[in-house]
Chain A
Amino acid sequence: MRIRNLAAKAVLSPTVLVMLVCFYGCAIWTAYLSVTRSALLPNYQFAGLVQYVRLFGTARWNVAWSNMFLFGVLDIVGTLGLGVLLAVLIDRQVRFEGAFRTIFLYPLSISFIVTGLTWQWVLSPTIGFQYFVRGLGWNDFVFDWIIRPDRAIYTLVFAGVWHQAGLIMAIMLAGLRGVDREIWQATRVEAIPPWRVYLSIVLPMLRPLLVTCIVLIAIAVVKSYDLVVAMTGGGPGYASDLPGKFVVDFEFERANIGQASAAAAVMLGSVLTVLAPYLYLELSRRGR
């Protein structure tokens, strides 16, 4: 019996193996550790849901977990909105298109650590933007969101949007350039205003690209760790904590594998619950 595409399968099999062991294997292992009493060292005796009971009784976790949703929704909406807007504006044949494209894409070439640090300086009330505006004469000017426990999470959204909007712009711009010229000619004959064409015709045509963008941003949201470490350190207090930081703190600093695993499992679970139905819907639509 001949195996079809032997070469392709041989080339792919190491990747598949690595995926199975490193990704699925570790995910399952972590999920199992979350139902044990593991602390500094793994302990494989089943212990029920003790870790989860403690996790959801921990004030810091509840803040971090709800922050993930708040940050996620705002970051996805903000990045997508700004990215698409920029792409559309550039698509309208502006002058110096290349310069604008480079400027908007630049933040992406900067690491999250540097992004976070820069925004921390800019937003710090004693040395940053507030200080600058006060120096211009507006002595009562206040912009201190980064030090307010109820606002700090939004400053992370600023930085996240700033960092990623350029990438979304580049992807969407490529898509917009691929739209058939005849569609534009047809709409011009019908005298439909351009904004209406984008909203009702062009963007729906680019739906698969939008899904890609949403997935890219969502991944950035879930794995965001460096941004929060560099920018707010999870603070003030732990008001801007995110699950990624929570897991790393518990795993590596506090020698509590059980809590870290439970938190990681909840992270994965909540992402799957939110994203899976959406992706299923989108992908099945594309299949039709």
Chain B
Amino acid sequence: MARHRMLFLAAAATLLAHQASAQDAQVMHWWTSGGESRAVSVFAKEYEKRGGKWIDGASVGPQAEHAAVLNAIAGGNPPAAFQWNIGVAVRQLAEQGLLSNLDDMASAGGLEAASAAAARQEHHRRWPRDCRPGHLHGANWMFYSTKVFSDLNMAPPKTWDEFLAEADKIKAAGYLPIAMGGNAQQTGWLFYAMLAGVGGKEAYRKVFVAHDAQAAGSDEVRRAFETMGKIRQHADAGGTNRKWNDTLALVETNKAAFMIAGDWAKGDFSAAGMTVGKEYGCLPAPGTQDAYVMTVDVFAFPKVTKPDQIAAQRKLAELMMDPAVQVEFNKFKGSLPARLDADVGSLDACAQLGQKVMAGGESNQLPNFALAFGPDTQGQIEDLLIHYWSTPGMSAVDATKQFSTIIANAGS
């Protein structure tokens, strides 16, 4: 922590020292893992190529970064841009007038038309117009071991019913049918796949977009919970409180057939020296072939007054939304470009598959918890899901009822 404070101070000092030189831009973020930092350096190199000076302000983890950003803004020395999770907090910063208004650029660059409709509107809370999305991650991917399925002479399941019918056969061959860890993150990902894949996209949208409590208590949702309960018996006993990358390791070592996870898992695979299509494969989770559950981080631009700083910010915003730069950035990040008009020909097979689904229109673009609800509601849903997952005695009817109550209290 102290080290980062030092880094941050050093960066701030450089910023002051170079105030005279034009268009220094300090960008604060928490993308520090291998693939992530390579992705950020795409922005950095491009910015320097366009004549600015990039000052990297990396923190370890969101909490440290949030604190550093708020301190910098409060101290009157705001960075040119900072990364944030989409959600209530960044909207409140915008409402308090702490962010620059880059509205005019959105329509000029064709951004408005090109970005994913659902991500832009952020549903009832509105996409903060002062932010730029960095990436579009998908949360409903099935990462499978090609070795396990070729040993079994089987294709990865296309529906959850198909999986439940085949699970015993997979188990008999000595493999774990599904790699699943019992923590809030992973039960959340599985629930997206359940609700979209069993309950259907329409039910999903009614709950996540319209916050319709009646739909949340419907038979479709109940069936999703029922299926989730049936899947539980095919997971291993060691899953309690297991971190997602440890769970993914079961697939990487060919012990488990597949795992439901977001496409950030690709970074883990490539760190293990594995490539898509060879050692592992990716497909949308069973039943969600035409759905993409979006996970988005944004860049926000704090309000600045000096002409130099304003110019630097606009230059940053412009290049971050440049389709070519977006493609290059997301190649390392493992996600889709936030602009749907970007050419994804150079991205891997998973990304191309995802882009095709996203291009299918708004009905395919599903929001995740963070896009759809505030953190309080998200927390309540996560508590319910993890409790349901780890309590075999709890009925799907009960879970559905509680889910409906949470949605009813979520407000619009």
Contact = CB atoms under 8 A, between A and B. Distances in A.
Interface of A: 39-41, 59-60, 120, 124-127, 144, 146-147, 149, 152, 231-233, 235-239, 249-250, 252-256, 259
Contacts of A126: 236-238
Contacts of A239: 390-391
A149 to B, nearest CB: 6
B375 A253 contact: yes
Given A41-B92, A235-B390, A237-B390, A255 B374 contact: yes
Interface of B: 63, 88-89, 92, 182-183, 236-241, 374-376, 378-379, 383, 386-391
A231 B237 CA distance: 16
A147 B240 contact: yes
Given A59-B387, A232-B240, A254 B378 contact: yes
A69 B168 CA distance: 42
A112 to B, nearest CB: 15
Contacts of A231: 241
A124 B238 contact: yes
A232 B239 CA distance: 11
A253 B390 contact: no
A252 B387 contact: no
B241 A144 contact: no
Contacts of B386: 235, 237-238
B240 A235 contact: yes
A249 B237 contact: no
Contact of B387 (A127, A144, A233, A238): A238
A233 B379 contact: no
Determine chain A's interface SS by DSSP, over half rule: loop
A169 to B, nearest CB: 30
A144 B240 CA distance: 11
Nearest to A131: B238
B240 A236 contact: yes
Given A249-B379, A255-B88, A233 B241 contact: yes
B175 to A, nearest CB: 14
Contacts of A252: 63
Given A125-B238, A146-B240, A255-B88, A236 B379 contact: no
Contacts of A238: 383, 386-387
B379 A235 contact: no
B237 A253 contact: no
Given A60-B383, A238-B383, 19 more contacts: A41-B92, A60-B387, A120-B241, A125-B237, A125-B238, A127-B238, A147-B239, A149-B390, A152-B240, A233-B241, A235-B182, A235-B386, A236-B182, A236-B390, A237-B182, A237-B390, A237-B391, A238-B387, A254-B378
A60 B391 CA distance: 13
Contacts of A232: 240-241
A186 B247 CA distance: 64
Contact of B376 (A146, A147, A233, A256): A256
Nearest to B379: A254
Most central of B239, B240, B383 by chain A CB within 10 Å? B240
A237 B391 CA distance: 7
A39 B376 contact: yes
23 contacts: A39-B376, A59-B383, A59-B387, A60-B383, A60-B387, A126-B237, A127-B238, A147-B238, A147-B239, A147-B240, A149-B390, A231-B241, A233-B183, A233-B241, A235-B240, A235-B386, A236-B390, A236-B391, A237-B386, A238-B383, A238-B386, A238-B387, A254-B376
Contacts of A125: 237-238
A33 to B, nearest CB: 15
Contact of B183 (A59, A147, A235): A235
Nearest to B393: A149
A238 B389 CA distance: 11
A256 B89 CA distance: 12
A148 to B, nearest CB: 9
B372 to A, nearest CB: 15
A261 to B, nearest CB: 14
A72 to B, nearest CB: 22
A86 to B, nearest CB: 31
Contacts of B88: 40, 255
A87 to B, nearest CB: 34
A255 B240 contact: no
Contact of A253 (B183, B236, B238, B379): B379
A151 to B, nearest CB: 12
Given A249-B379, A255-B375, A147 B387 contact: no
A152 B90 CA distance: 38
Contacts of A124: 238
Contacts of B378: 254
Nearest to A232: B241
